[in-house]
Amino acid sequence: MNTPSGRIAAIVGGAVGIAATGTAIGATLLSRRRKAEDPYADEPLGKLQPDRTSTVAADDGVPLSVEEIDPADGGKPDLTVVYVHGFAISRRSWHFQRRDLAELDGPRVRQVLYDHRGHERSGHSAPNEPEASSIEQLGRDLDAVLRAMVPNGPIVLVGHSMGGMTIMALAELRPELFQDRVIGVALIATAAGEVGTAGIPRPLLSKYNPVTRRIGGLADWQPGLVEFVRASGGQLTRRAVRTLAFGSRDVSPALVTFMMRMLDVTPVRVLAQFIETLDGHNRYAALAGLKFCHVQVIHGDTDRITPFQHAERTALELPDAELVRVRGAGHMVMMEQPDVVNGHLADLVALCAATPRSGKRRKWWRR
């Protein structure tokens, strides 16, 4: 309309359009700059939605929160991968693995993830039952999850840190499972024993340490106060997490923030309850139960919590296992270098899908 008001409207409309275009361009450039500075700035860390969620009761009644992810193409899965997370974090730590393995189409995998008791969405052990916060109990919890969620078909178990110890406890509890149903095992940044001989000092893991004992007692008496003090750590806590959990000083800030979010959800009382079980963990003998499985031992060589020598000792006990040294990675190796870890897990899954479910399995990784 060629009137003064029409011309004004056109000018205003054009200006708005130019402004909107400029805003969009600015947002795109900002997004590109953020990605250049932090490759995971726009990654929905820990926010991927499962296909199904459910609750499994442990043998003592504690509810364990479980989720399932089907193959992305909707095809029938060839096997099930079950992830067992580490101390003080949650099943969300498997973000990159559940994202990428869902895309496999040869073989296709169903994925099952759950939170340990006392962690994130799962229920808590009774405070007056210390034996319920033990790696032995975690092994029974894993057994309950497998019975309920994977009653049939081949299984690959993937455990990180305390999750790897949990798999060892299950092998101790049900060795026959590893001769038939469990075809493959990946032990990531974990140890079979002697926790504290390197990495975290053993005194910090002992219930007899007065600091550990007082923090645990205070967490029972005044949990809100302890959580407040932890939350007040700010940048000091962030630096500690970055240093202890990751190998590279240039690790993605988004990964550090994500790690802190997981840690913040786990109550200090729960952390104190599990301290003793880490100190007493010794399951070198249980590793013999894995001799019929295809085993990967994956470890970052700058792990400050469970140093690489733990992986070397595990590999000595399992001479047919594949020892994977991830250079420059720390304790959260599967988050820090997911492409490396996922590539090896994909190889393990493919091998397990092609392996007969019974009988002696060949030495697979040696060329």
pLDDT at 366 over 70: no
pLDDT at 236 over 80: no
pLDDT at 61 over 90: yes
pLDDT class of 246 with cuts at 50, 70, 90: very high
Residue 15: the pLDDT is 46
Residue 238: the pLDDT is 86
Residue 162: the pLDDT is 95
pLDDT at 130 over 80: no
Closest of 69, 294, 88, 108 to residue 186, by C-alpha: 294
Which alpha helices (H) appear in 95-233, and where do they start and end?
95-101, 135-149, 162-173, 177-180, 210-221, 223-231
DSSP SS3 for 40: coil
Instruction: Identify the weakest region by mean pLDDT among 88-97, 202-211, 282-291, 333-342.
Output: 202-211
pLDDT at 182 over 80: yes
- Report the alpha-carbon distance of residue 261 to residue 274 in Å, rounded: 20
| Partners of residue 79 on adjacent β-strands | 109
**Burial call 289-298: b when 16+ CB within 10 Å, e when fewer:** bbbbbbbbbb
| Residue 130 or residue 328, greater confidence | 328
Give the pLDDT confidence of 25-46 residue by residue, as tens digits: 554 544 555 556 899 999 999 9
**Domain locations in the chain as residue ranges:** 1-37, 52-353
End-to-end alpha carbon distance in the chain: 79
Residue 79: the pLDDT is 98
pLDDT at 210 over 70: no
267-271 mean pLDDT: 81
| Partners of residue 246 on adjacent β-strands | none
Residue 363: the pLDDT is 47
Please state, rounded to an integer, the average pLDDT across all residues of the chain.
Answer: 83
pLDDT at 69 over 60: yes
Residue 193: the pLDDT is 85
Give the contacts of 182 (CB within 8 A, at least 6 positions apart).
154, 155, 156, 157, 293
Residue 223: the pLDDT is 46
Say whether domain 52-353 belongs to CATH 3.40.190.10.
no
Give the contacts of 224 (CB within 8 A, at least 6 positions apart).
none
Taking each helix axis from N to C terminus, what angle separates 268-279 and 210-221, rounded to the nearest 10 degrees?
Answer: 150
User: Which tokens is 131 given?
Assistant: 């034996």
276-298 mean pLDDT: 92
338-365 mean pLDDT: 81
| Residue 112 or residue 28, greater confidence | 112
75-100 mean pLDDT: 97
